[in-house]
Amino acid sequence: MSDTFIPRRDLAFLLYEVLTVESLFETDRYASHDHTVFEAVLDTAETIARDHFAPHAAVVDEQEPEFDGAEVRLIPDVKAALDSYVGAGLMGATFDIEIGGMQLPVVVGQACQAIFSAANISTTAYPFLTIGAGNLLAAFGSDEQKEKFLTPMVEGRFFGTMCLSEPQAGSSLTDISTRAEPTDDGYYRITGSKMWISGGDHTLSENIIHMVLAKIPGSPSGVKGISLFVVPKYRPENDGTVGENNNIVLAGLNHKMGYRGTVNALLNFGESGETQGFLVGEPHQGLTYMFHMMNEARIGVGLGAVALGYAGYSASLAYAKERPQGRHPDDNAPDNQPVMIVEHADVRRLLISQKVAVEGALALVLYCARLVDEKKTAKSDAEKKRLSLLLDILTPITKSWPSEFCLEANKHAIQVLGGYGYTRDYPVERLYRDNRLNLIHEGTHGIHGLDLLGRKVVMENGAAFDALQNEMRSTIASAAAEASLQHYAAALATAIDRINDVTHKLVAAREENIRQALADATLYLDTLGHLVIAWMWLKQALSATEAKPDAQGDDIEFYAGKLAACQFFFRRELPKLHSNADLLSVMDDTALTISTDAL
Amino acid sequence: MSDTFIPRRDLAFLLYEVLTVESLFETDRYASHDHTVFEAVLDTAETIARDHFAPHAAVVDEQEPEFDGAEVRLIPDVKAALDSYVGAGLMGATFDIEIGGMQLPVVVGQACQAIFSAANISTTAYPFLTIGAGNLLAAFGSDEQKEKFLTPMVEGRFFGTMCLSEPQAGSSLTDISTRAEPTDDGYYRITGSKMWISGGDHTLSENIIHMVLAKIPGSPSGVKGISLFVVPKYRPENDGTVGENNNIVLAGLNHKMGYRGTVNALLNFGESGETQGFLVGEPHQGLTYMFHMMNEARIGVGLGAVALGYAGYSASLAYAKERPQGRHPDDNAPDNQPVMIVEHADVRRLLISQKVAVEGALALVLYCARLVDEKKTAKSDAEKKRLSLLLDILTPITKSWPSEFCLEANKHAIQVLGGYGYTRDYPVERLYRDNRLNLIHEGTHGIHGLDLLGRKVVMENGAAFDALQNEMRSTIASAAAEASLQHYAAALATAIDRINDVTHKLVAAREENIRQALADATLYLDTLGHLVIAWMWLKQALSATEAKPDAQGDDIEFYAGKLAACQFFFRRELPKLHSNADLLSVMDDTALTISTDAL
C-alpha cells in the first residue's frame, strides 16, 4: 500500500498484546468472533485501502468536488472505492447482526478505519459519517426509522451526515436557529441552514440521511430546546425505494485547505419547498442524544488525526532510509560517500518524535475504542458507570491530543523530505493540510479544553478523574514490578500527583474568578494529554518487556523500538508536563486582561 | 490593504523608536536621506502592495504557473504588480546610487519587503531573488559584469535567481556536480542540473540572470572546489540588448504546497546547446562569496516568515473583533447576546501568542538589517568586525526562529477563524501553507542548528557569542534602571547565564563525541532563539516605557500592548528556555542510538 500506511505489526501489538482484545470473545456480544475473523477483516481492509483508496488520494485532492448546478461531481474513483468498501460489508462492521451488521468490536472497526484513513482520509470520511449517523439511529431511532433509514445505511445504500453547525453558530449550539414545525402528518417541517456539512450532497449513494439538530417552536431557549431529526435527501417510499426530493438545497460547497475530496456544504432546508424531518426519540433531547454518541465520533476524529500522522511517519521513514545525502560530523571528507539521511541525528530526532506521537496516540484511540466495547458488554451497572466515566474524561483528550501532536508529526514528516516534502509529488504535504482540520471540527481544541477542565474533571466530585487515575495507577503497579520500568512507573506517579495539585488549584480558583480559572483550559488539555500518552507508553513498554525474552526475527527490533520510544517520551516529552504545570499554576492573566485595543 | 498587513505604527515604532534608524543620517552613506524620504518610500510600498500585490495573492495561489511547452505562463496580475514595483524604483532601493539605486538603508528596504511579503509573498519572491543575486554581483562582479548584468537588474529589466541546489544535493553543497569548463573565449561552458530554482523561468523580465555554483574540472573536492558564475538566460549583446538563447532548458516545474505563485523549476544547463557562464571573482571562492551575501538573504527569509505570520495575526485579529459567538462562562444565559470572539480567553491567548511571535521576530529581523547598515557605515575595522560577528551568530536565529514560531502563529490564526479559517475564502490557510517553506529553503532548520552550535558559537573562541552577550547585557543595564522592567532584566540575565552553562557543556562534549554533542543542535537553535526574542521584547519594552508618559491617543494602547506582550513573553515563553536547557543538558542519546530497524 503506497508509502502511507499503518503497519499491521503495530496494530497486532496494540490489539492483541497491549489491549488483549481477544478477551472480548468471552462476552456474549462478541462470542461468535475469533482471532481469524479479526485478521481476515483487517486483511480485507488493507487490500481495499491499498487497491481502491490510496491510488486516488492525491488525485481527489487536486480535483476536488464541483457543483455543476445540478449535482456535485466527484472523480469516479471515489464511488468505485466506496463500492468496494460497501461490497465487503465494512459499512456494517460494528453494527448489530440483527440489523444486518457484522457486530465486530468497535476497536476492530476503528483499526480498519485507521487503515483506510491513512490511505485516503477524504474518501474514508463518507463511511465515517454514515457510521456515526447510523449509530445515532441505532441508539435512539424508532423501529420504523431504523427500518427505513438505518438498514439501508448498514447496507451501504444510503449515506449519512451530522448537521449541527450553522453559519452563525459553529461552536455555539445554543444559538442554532433551524426550526422544526410539527404537522398533523407525523413529520416536522424543517427550515434553516446548516454549515460545514461533510458529505452534505453527492451522488455516491442512493440517498443521504441527515441527522439534524433543530428547535421546535416554543422550546426552551438554548441547548435545552434542541431536538434531533432524521431528514432524508429523498423521502423513502414504504417499499424502501427512494421517493421524491425532500427540498434540501445545496447552497454552496466549501473549498478547504485539505480533506479536499470530502464534499463540505452549506445546505438550506425548506427553502424551495417542504423539507420533511422525523423526530428522533423525545423532543428537547437532541443534544443529549448527540453527546451520547459523540464519544465514538470523537474517538474517530482522534483516530483520523493519528492515521494522518502515522501515514506521514511511514512515508518519511521510508524516504529517509533511501535518500543519500550529507556525512557525519566526524567523518565528513568530501570524497566519502554520503550516508542515508536516516543516519543524521536531526533526521532521527524528527523520526522518533513522530514515532512517539503516532504510536502513543494510536494506543490511546484504540484503548478508548476498547472501552466502548467493554461498556457494551459490561456485566454490572457499576462497571458500566466506571467505563462511562473513563470515556467521558478521555474523549476530549483522545480527540485533541492527536489533532495537535500528530499534526506536529506531519510537520516533521515534511521536514525529513526537505524541498521534496513541500511538493505535491509526495504525500506528506497533503497529510499536513488534511490534519490541520482535526483541531477544528467535532469541537475545536479550545472547546475541548473547556469541556475537560470546566466539566469532565469536576463532574460527580471528580469521579471521572478518579477513575482515570485508578487505571493509571494499576499500570504503574504492574510496571513497578519490572526492574527496567521502575523509573518510568515512578515518573508517571509523580506526574499524576503534579497534575492533581494543579487541577485542585484550578478548580478551587473557579470560586473566585471562573474566567481566569478556565483561561488556560487548552494548555491544561495538552498537559493532561501528555500524562495520558505517557501512560500509554508505559503500557506499551510493559507489553514489550513481557514479550521481549521470547521475541524472534523482526520482533526483536520491534520491541526494542517500543522500549526506545517509551524512553524518548519519558525523557523528552514528559518534562513538558512539569513546565506546563508551572505555567498553569501561575494563572497568568496577561491574555485575559490586555485591552482589546492593545492587541 | 485587505486584512493581511503590517501596521505602519509598529514599523515606525521599531524603526524610529527601538532601532533609532535616523542616526544613520549622520553617516556619509545615508546622509542624503531623512525621515520624510523613509516615510515616502514606505507609503509607496504600502500603496503598491495594497493596489497591485494583495488583490491577486489568492488568485495566483489557485492558478499557479504553468509550462505550456514553450514558456511559463503566469496570470497577468503578477507582471502588472512587478511593473509597478519596478516603476517606483523599488528594485534599486538599497543599491548604491552610482549603479542607479536609491542607496536606502537595508533596514528600510527590509521594512518595504515586509509590507510586500505580507500582501503577497509569491509575487514578492521575484524582486527578493533579484536583489539577492544583484547583491552578489555588486560585491564580487567585475565592472563589465556589473554593467552587463547588474545595472539592468537594478533597473528591474532583468530578474535574478540563485542556483545552488541540485536534485541529489539540496543541503549538501559538497556534492554538487554542475561543471564549468573553461574556454579560450573568456567564458565557461556550464553543464548540469539545478533544482528548486525560484524564479527559474518566466517572461516577467527581459532576461533572467542566474547566479550558479559549479565546479571547474580539476578543482579540489568538496566545497573548496566550488566557483560562482553568472549565467544569463539570454546572452546580452554589447549594446545591452538581449541576444541569443543561452540554452538553459526548463526541465520541469515544482508544484508546491504554498508559495504557489513563485515559479520553482528544475533547470538543465548545456544540454541542448552551449550554456555560457562567466566566472565571478576568483575560482574556488564560490561558497565564500555566497556566504558573504547569505546573511542578507537569510535575514530576508526570516523577514518573509515574519510577514506571513504578521499577516495572519492582522487577519485573525480583525476577524475576532467582528465575529459574534458564544458567551462568558459566568454570563452564559442563552438569551444573552453572544459576545465577539475576541473576548474569549482562549481566542485572546491565540492572539497574544501570535503578537509576541510576530512583533518579537519583526524586531529581530529589522535589528539584523540595521546591523548590516551599521556594518556598511562602520568607521573602524574593529567596529566592522564586531558587527560581522553579531551578524554571524544572529543569522541562523533570524532565519530560523520566525520560520518555526511565526508558522505556529499562522496555525493559531487559522484556529481563531475556526472552520472559516480552514477554507480558501480567507487568507489564513494560504499564509500557513506559504510559511511552511521557510523551515526548508535557504538552509533547513536542522542545518542552521548545526551552523549555530557547530560553528557560530565556537568561532574565534566564542567571540561572536561574546559580542551577542555584550549587546544583551547593555540592554539589561538600561532596563535595570527602570523600576518596572527590573524583573525582566534580571530574568534575561539569568537566562543568559543558563544558556552559557549549557553551551559550555555542549561544546566541551564535542571532544568526546561530536555526533552526540551536536545531536540536539535544532533544540539549541530554538532555545537560543527564545533568548534573543526575549531580549527583543525587553528592548521594545524599554522604548515603550520611555515613550509612555507622553503618549497621546491610540499610542496609549499601543505602548500598553507592547508592555503586555513583553510580560506575556517573559511569563509564558521564556520559561521554555529553562526546560529546553534541562533537556539539552541531559544529552539524551535515544534518537541517536535507536537502531534504524527499530524506528
What DSSP character marks residue A120? -
Share of chain B above pLDDT 70, in %: 99
C-alpha span between B74 and B258 (Å, rounded): 16
How far B373 CA lies from chain A's nearest CA (Å)?
31
Residue A582: which of B347, B519, B575 has the nearest Cβ?
A: B575
Tell me how far apart the alpha carbons of residues B448 and B397 are, in angstroms, rounded to a whole number: 8
3-state SS, A541-571, equals HHHHHHHHHHCCCHHHHHHHHHHHHHHHHHH
Burial of A269 per CB tally in 10 Å (0-12, 13-18, 19+): buried
Closest alpha carbon within chain B to A174? B334
Look up the ipTM and state it: 0.98
CA dist., res. A561 & res. A568, Å (int) = 10
Contact present, B286 and B387 (Cβ < 8 Å): no
User: Within an 8 Å CB–CB cutoff, is residue B337 touching chain A?
Assistant: no
B153 has a chain A CB within 8 A of its CB: no
Check CB contact of A168 with chain B, cutoff 8 Å.
yes
List, in sequence order, every beta strand (DSSP E) within A168-206: 179-182, 188-198
Q: Does B168 touch chain A (CB under 8 A)?
A: yes
Q: How far is CA B182 from the centre of its chain?
A: 35
Any B CB within 8 A of A553 CB:
no
- Which residues 364-423 of B have a C-beta within 8 angstroms of A? 411, 414-415, 418-419, 421-423
Residue A596: closest C-alpha in chain B: B342
CB contact under 8 Å between B422 and A257, yes or no, is yes
Strand pairing category for B158-163 and B207-215? parallel
Quote the minimal CA–CA distance from B381 to chain A in Å. 33
Strand, helix or coil for residue B269? strand
Asked if B346 and A572 come within 8 Å (Cβ–Cβ), the reply is: no
- Chain B: closest CA distance from residue A203 (Å): 23
Q: What residue type is assigned to position B348 of the chain?
A: R
A3 pLDDT above the threshold of 80? no
Q: Compute the nearest-CA separation of A380 from chain B (Å).
A: 36
How far A117 CA lies from chain B's nearest CA (Å)? 19
Q: Which amino acid would we find at residue B575?
A: P
- Closest A-chain CA to B314: A599
B369 CA: distance to closest CA in chain A (Å): 26
Cα torsion A223, A224, A225, A227 to 10°: value is: 80
Contact A446 B347 (CB under 8 A): yes
Cell of A459: 463532574
Query: Which of A321, A422, A583 lies at the smallest CB-CB distance from B575?
Result: A583
pLDDT per residue as tens digits for the range B156-207: 999 999 999 999 888 889 999 999 999 999 999 999 999 999 999 999 999 9
| Amino acid at site B291 | F
Compute CA A138 distance to the chain's CA centroid, rounded to the nearest angstrom: 20
Q: Which own/partner pairs from B475-481 qualify as long-range (CB within 8 Å, at least 24 positions apart)?
A: B475/B535, B475/B538, B475/B539, B475/B542, B476/B538, B478/B542, B479/B538, B479/B541, B479/B542
Q: Rounded to whole angstroms, how far apart are CA atoms A79 and B440?
A: 37
CB-nearest to A514 from B330, B415, B423 is B330
Chain B CB within 8 Å of residue A448 CB:
no
> Could you tell me if B357 and B576 are in contact, meaning their C-beta atoms sit under 8 angstroms apart?
no
Is B564's CB within 8 Å of A598's CB?
yes
In B, minimum Cα distance to A568 occurs at B590
- Whether A381 and A280 have beta carbons less than 8 Å apart is answered as no
Taking residue B383's Cβ as centre, other Cβ atoms within 10 Å add up to 13
Vertex A329: Cα angle to A326 and A332 (nearest 5) = 60
User: Inter-chain contact B169–A325, Cβ cutoff 8 Å?
Assistant: yes
Please indicate whether, in this complex, the C-beta atoms of B445 and A415 are within 8 angstroms of each other.
yes
* CB distance B563 to B544 below 8 Å: yes
Q: A586 to chain B: nearest residue by CA?
A: B571
With contacts defined as CB-CB under 8 Å, which chain B residues touch A256? Answer: 422-424, 429
| B461's grid cell | 573562541
Closest-approach residue (CA) in chain B for A558: B598
* CB-CB neighbors (< 8 A) of B195 in chain A: 419
What residues of chain A lie within 8 A of the CB of B165, using their CB? 419
Q: Is the pLDDT of residue A1 over 80?
A: no
Residues of A in contact with B597 (CB under 8 A): 554, 557, 561
Give me the DSSP letters along B474-494.
Answer: HHHHHHHTSGGGHHHHHHHHH
Contact list in B for residue A586 (CB cut-off 8 A) is: 571
What residue in A sits closest to B220 (Cα-Cα)?
A: A334
> Does the beta-carbon distance from B422 to A444 stay under 8 Å?
no
DSSP string, A217-257: TTPPSGGGGEEEEEEESEEEPTTS-EEEE--EEEEEE--BS
Q: At what angle do helices B521-547 and B381-417 cross, to 10 degrees?
A: 90
In whole angstroms, what is the distance from residue B360 CA to residue B569 CA?
Answer: 9
Lowest average pLDDT, out of A327-341, A369-383, B373-387, goes to: A327-341
Are B440 and A196 within 8 A, CB to CB? Answer: no
Whether chain B has a CB inside 8 Å of the CB on A322: the answer is: no
CB spacing of B575 vs A579 below 8 angstroms? yes
- C-alpha cell of residue B384: 566592522
Residue A307, pLDDT > 70, answer yes
Nearest alpha carbon to residue B162 among B201, B198, B126:
B198
| pLDDT tops 60 at residue A472 | yes
Phi and psi angles of residue B486, each rounded to the nearest 5 degrees, phi first: -60, -40
Residues A591, B348: C-beta atoms closer than 8 Å? yes
Residue-level pLDDT at A292: 78
Q: Which residues does chain A have within 8 Å of residue B415's beta carbon, measured at their own beta carbons? A: 439-440, 444-446
A-chain residues within 8 Å CB-CB of B520?
345, 349
Cα–Cα distance list, A241 to A148, A186, A234, B355, B397 (Å): 9, 20, 10, 57, 66
Contact status of B356 with chain A (Cβ, < 8 Å): no
DSSP code per residue over B25-44 = GGSTTTTT--HHHHHHHHHH
pLDDT number for residue A228: 98
Cross-chain Cβ contact B450/A196 below 8 Å = no
Closest CA to A197 of B430, B419, B421: B419
3-state DSSP assignment of residue B227: strand
Give residue-wise pLDDT tens across range A547-581: 999 999 999 999 999 999 999 999 999 999 999 99
Cβ contact B409:B438 at 8 Å: no
3-state secondary structure of A89: coil
CA B395 to chain centre: 9
Give the residue on B whose Cα is nearest the Cα of A567: B590
Q: What is the dihedral of CA A293, A299, A304, A308, to 10 degrees?
A: 170
Q: Report the phi/psi class of residue A156: left, alpha or beta, with left for phi > 0 and alpha for psi in -120 to 50.
A: left
Residue A582 has pLDDT above 70, yes or no: yes
- Closest residue to B572, CB basis, from A344, A411, A588: A588
Chain B residue numbers with beta carbons less than 8 Å from the beta carbon of A575 are 579, 582-583
The separation between the first and the last C-alpha atoms of chain B, rounded to the nearest angstrom, is 48
Regions in chain B scoring below 50 on pLDDT = 1-2
Task: Please compute the mean of the pLDDT values over residues A372-389 and round it to a whole number.
Answer: 97
DSSP state of B220: P
Band the pLDDT of A2: cuts 50, 70, 90: very low
Average pLDDT, chain A: 96
Q: Which residues pair with B248 in a beta bridge?
A: B269
Q: Which of B257, B429, B557 minimises the CB distance to A422?
A: B257
C-alpha B484/C-alpha B473 separation (Å) is 17
> Is the pTM of the predicted complex or chain greater than 0.90?
yes
The pLDDT of residue B3: 67
Contact A591 B557 (CB under 8 A): no
> Phi/psi zone of residue B576: left (φ > 0), alpha (ψ -120 to 50 degrees), beta?
alpha
Asked whether the beta carbons of B370 and B434 are under 8 A apart, the reply is no
- Interface check for A256 against chain B (CB to CB < 8 A): the answer is yes
Per-residue model confidence as pLDDT tens digits over A443-464: 999 999 999 999 999 999 999 9
**Residues in B touching A344 (Cβ below 8 Å):** 446
* CA angle, residues A137, A141, A142, in degrees to nearest 5: 145
Which residues from chain B sit within 8 angstroms of residue A196, using beta carbons? 419
